[in-house]
Chain A
Amino acid sequence: MRTETILNRWLKVDPRSGRVPLKEIPRLAYSEWYDDLCQCLHEESCHVASYFGVPGPEGLWLICLVMDDLEGSVRIASYRYGRGEQRVLPSVTAVHPAMHVFEREITENFGVSFADSPWNKPLRYAHDRADWLHTMNDYPFYTIEGEALHEVNVGPIHAGIIEPGCFRFICNGEQIVHLEIMLGYQHRGVERLMRETENRLRQAVLCESIAGDSAVAHGTTYALLAETLSGQTVPETLEIERAIALELERIAIHIADTGALCTDIGYQLGQVACEALRTIVINTTQAWCGNRFGKGLIRPGGTYYPLTESLNERMLQNLEEVRRRFAEVTADLLDSASVLARFEDCGVLTCSQALRIGAVGMVARASGLKRDVRATHPTGAYRTMSHEPILVTEGDVFSRLKIRLEEVMQSIDYVRTFVGRWNEGREEVARPDYTSPWAPSSLAFACQEGWRGEIVHVGMTDEQGRLAAYKIQDPSLHNWMGLALAVRREGISDFPICNKSFNLSYCGHDL
């Protein structure tokens, strides 16, 4: 059965013009909303992109966006939760575990209770949460009684130079029985700062800092959303330049992660080779826009850093060098039994697990689940190309490495294609635009495939066209549960390579 028949009460929106007046968003009774959603999530092609609450004078307005990969659309519907209402709502998580992050957030921030929710724990201990009685120090960790079992706590500060997060293992000897991940240490209140400022430059810079390793991806998502709200269309040249920047980011981080996986198994040749290759890529970005992470490059309406022919020439030269050397690294890794022995059959996330937890991006694709908004909900320069996502089915650490190895090559090809198209039809690109009026009382969304996966931003404007609410979904939000499942039955000493193979964002989750 298709969503056409299931979600016929929901508003269908084309992601390319992702804007709807607030009054057109269907308002359903919770029971209707619940039935529709539970039914449509049985389809593999459907997943929830965003589900969040907006407080207002009459109570809470809960809005849900479902992505339909087959028809390439987004479906929107909402329900109300009145002020002072004590109603306990049936939990969707009980049927579809992927919803846990959304329901946990709604419970944490607004105190709405969901009955039969299997895992209704605080998500990130946001500063404006409803329940101030509980703090990070009394997080209700899951425990198992047993003489043979012991607990290991790792974090919030880890051994390397990485972000903080708390991992609590329950182990039987060396073997991990259960892992629980508690996050929230990185919570900076990004969504609140977004709606509290009218300075759109500040909003753009804030979005670049949601996750610094995905600055281009989050920055582009914001720029698309801002342009949707102001009804602007940007020249194709600018769309191509953004896509080039996004693919450069993907290449750089995938190479860095390949090196980091080598580090964690003590394979120094792979490590140093990848470090040097990553330097070439990020220095290319730096030569373009002055920042190795692409901060400052993406702005709504235009850019201060248009590409030039000489930059393109250098970029292609560098990428050819990277392609040649990375192919050698790839051949070497695939040929080294001691490397493969550590990666193969380790940290398996099966396809059905990935589906049930709502995995997105490269983690989903490594488990054989085709989730890639470049293919299903393309925007900008991706609209006019046919992108075939790379799929691997085993779901182990090696699969996630293989996805990286192959996506680097694919992205280098894409940059070549984009540069070709850029040369064909060059248009003048304007400077950034921070002042065009935004459509009042509207909801807009935008999505991009960052290197981790699907990034979704949703913005709502008030009667004056100012931001009234801003919701950010980083792919890490869904995929953290994947890591927790993948390490079960592995030796605890294999945790670092499992963790590295996912390389999820802490600040993208905590916001």
Chain B
Amino acid sequence: MLISKWKVWRSHGRQFIPDLQGVRLPETFRGRPQIEGPVPKLLAEELAQWCPVGALTAEPFTLDLGRCVFCNECAMRAPQHITFTSDYRLATTHRDALILREGNPDFIAFDEDQVRDCIHRLFGRALKLREVSAGGDNSTEMELNASMNVNFDFSRFGIDFVASPRHADGVVMTGPLTENMARALEICYNSVPAPRLLILAGSDAISGGLFAESPALDRRFLDRYRVDLYIPGNPVHPLTFIDGIMTLLGHYERTPWSEFQ
């Protein structure tokens, strides 16, 4: 009985990643897009027409990372203009920073001034979050679980998901916010003691994403409360989530991709 456990333990070895910022995702991973202009008008229109979520506009040519589902279709149709890099650092404090234009810088801007004063002071050393899925398809939910797993081990920094909103400092919402879930989400959010964080994880949560046009959503909750962090992704990669929270808390700094690599 003990021998079988010893065998598992021996093969398991050491799994945790000592330096999370040292990890490089494979080339195929679709992170921050790089747009090389000028995109010809006809091509831009074709791309905008095919975008499954309306994340592209033709004139001027923009890509809204808060809507993008990272399907890669635009990059496949116009590889000379759009490439999805493996830069996973996508989270930001303001929605506008997710709207990318031709010749965008090689990082997603993160404006420290937008971070509320209390966040570094109160939550800088320990942050407990309550997750609410409101129409999420269970992929971002699984990735949030994975960020706490034996490889990523995010709780080493004092950051954890908790069962009760009463024990939490903020809410992480996933999913496009369905009408049927709107009430439960608001009750949960209001059960978190103030000051509280509101974090949107995944393209669905940020803009409704694929489901933005669906009459089955009710996103009015988001008009009433301030969002502290937007984390794009379909689903959000654990490293994107970890980087986003750590940058929000002031532990990581958002540097250009050329330096970060």
Contacts and interface: CB of A to CB of B under 8 A. Distances in A.
Nearest to A183: B180
A156 B181 contact: yes
A328 B8 contact: yes
How big is chain A's contact interface, by range?
Answer: 35 or more
A331 B2 CA distance: 11
Contact of B143 (A126, A206, A292): A292
A507 B145 contact: no
B258 interface: no
Contacts of B137: 209-213, 507
A332 B5 contact: yes
Q: How large is the interface on B (under 10, 10 to 19, 20 to 34, 35 or more residues)?
A: 35 or more
A487 B169 CA distance: 34
Contacts of A401: none
Interface string A343-374: 00000000000000000000000000000000
Interface string B8-33: 11011001000000000110111000
Contacts of A206: 52, 210
B78 interface: no
A189 interface: yes
Contact of B178 (A187, A204, A276): A187
B30 A296 contact: yes
Nearest to B131: A161
Point out which of B72, B139, B143, B237 has the most chain A C-beta atoms below 10 A from its C-beta: B139
B131 to A, nearest CB: 4
Interface in A288-335: 288-293, 295-296, 304-305, 324-325, 328-329, 331-332, 335
A336 B6 CA distance: 13
A149 interface: no
B142 interface: yes
B184 interface: yes
B52 A291 contact: no
B104 interface: no
Contacts of A201: 50, 52, 71, 73
B139 A276 contact: no
Residue among A272, A324, A434 with the most chain B CB within 10 A? A272
Nearest to A503: B138
B114 interface: no
Contacts of B237: 292
Contacts of B73: 201
B198 interface: no
Contact of B4 (A162, A189, A331): A331
Contacts of B76: 304, 431
Interface stretch (B35-43, B118-126, B213-221): B213-221
Contact of B141 (A163, A196, A289, A295): A163
B149 interface: yes
Interface in B123-177: 131-146, 149-151, 161, 163-164, 175-176
- Looking at B8, B53, B234, which has the most chain A CB atoms within 10 Å of its CB? B8
Contacts of B217: 188
A287 interface: yes
B115 interface: no
B26 A193 contact: no
A160 B133 CA distance: 10
Nearest to B143: A292
Nearest to A289: B28
A164 B142 contact: no
B210 A272 contact: no
A45 interface: no
Contact of B71 (A184, A205, A332): A205
Given A161-B145, A193-B210, A201-B71, 20 more contacts: A157-B184, A163-B133, A184-B180, A186-B136, A186-B175, A188-B135, A189-B211, A189-B215, A213-B138, A256-B142, A269-B8, A270-B8, A272-B15, A272-B149, A293-B235, A296-B70, A331-B7, A332-B4, A332-B8, A506-B138
Interface of B: 1, 4-5, 7-9, 11-12, 15, 25-26, 28-30, 50, 52-53, 69-73, 76, 84, 131-146, 149-151, 161, 163-164, 175-176, 178-181, 183-184, 188, 204, 210-211, 213-217, 234-235, 237
Cβ-closest 6 pairs across A and B: A212-B139, A212-B137, A202-B52, A290-B28, A159-B163, A189-B216
Interface of A: 125-128, 136-137, 156-157, 159-164, 184-189, 192-193, 196, 199, 201-202, 204-206, 209-213, 215, 256, 269-270, 272-273, 275-276, 279, 286-293, 295-296, 304-305, 324-325, 328-329, 331-332, 335-337, 431, 434, 505-507, 510
